[in-house]
Homo-oligomer: A and B are copies of this chain.
């Protein structure tokens, strides 16, 4: 069962907010040190958040920090780790054994015309059935080999090289709101692979719940992706 601060990602993954430092008022407080003032009225604070975002003053948002516990397949983690302004501690395949725990896509995707890196969900039922069966069989067989190697006395760190990148891994990820916004612009975007997009959307949801004004200002002025929409906004 998921905890309240935990969002499901893909078939067996999750994004969970472990703890955080700060909220919508942290960038306000940090920015006001510039002007020698602290918090004022909620209305003015909100306006300042929008002003900072609109004018590319992103450094005050570094004072909001999130610590997530994330579980995703290795191939998704491989993309996420490329965002370098963050702290990661990952479950180790040298210390521990991989459990029987991998990603099983619900449907396969086909190459998309005119988009060399992209893909779209296939509605060819036969293709879906056949290819998903192949994928499952292949991963399952790799995992059996892994266990057999361990049983024979092969070291974990070596046995794991037969495991596919569909295997789930998990890690702690500490990241400030500025770096998180860059991540969302690139990964909560239709050009990103479906699986990391799912992960990015869960993270966006947690960002929105915890820092609603910052999130709103981000989507309006800074976000360069194309899947998060603003919702209703007739303000500021």
Contacts and interface: CB of A to CB of B under 8 A. Distances in A.
Contact size range, A: 35 or more
A210 interface: no
Interface string A138-172: 11011001001100111111101111111000111
A145 B114 CA distance: 26
21 contacts: A18-B29, A19-B21, A29-B172, A33-B91, A33-B171, A34-B92, A35-B91, A36-B91, A56-B185, A59-B87, A62-B174, A92-B117, A94-B117, A95-B117, A103-B161, A108-B154, A119-B155, A134-B152, A138-B141, A161-B165, A174-B176
Interface of A: 18-22, 26, 29-31, 33-36, 55-56, 59-60, 62-63, 65, 67, 69, 73-75, 78, 81-82, 84-85, 87-96, 103, 105, 108-112, 116-119, 122, 124, 127, 130-131, 134-135, 137-139, 141-142, 145, 148-149, 152-158, 160-166, 170-172, 174, 176, 185-186, 191, 193, 224
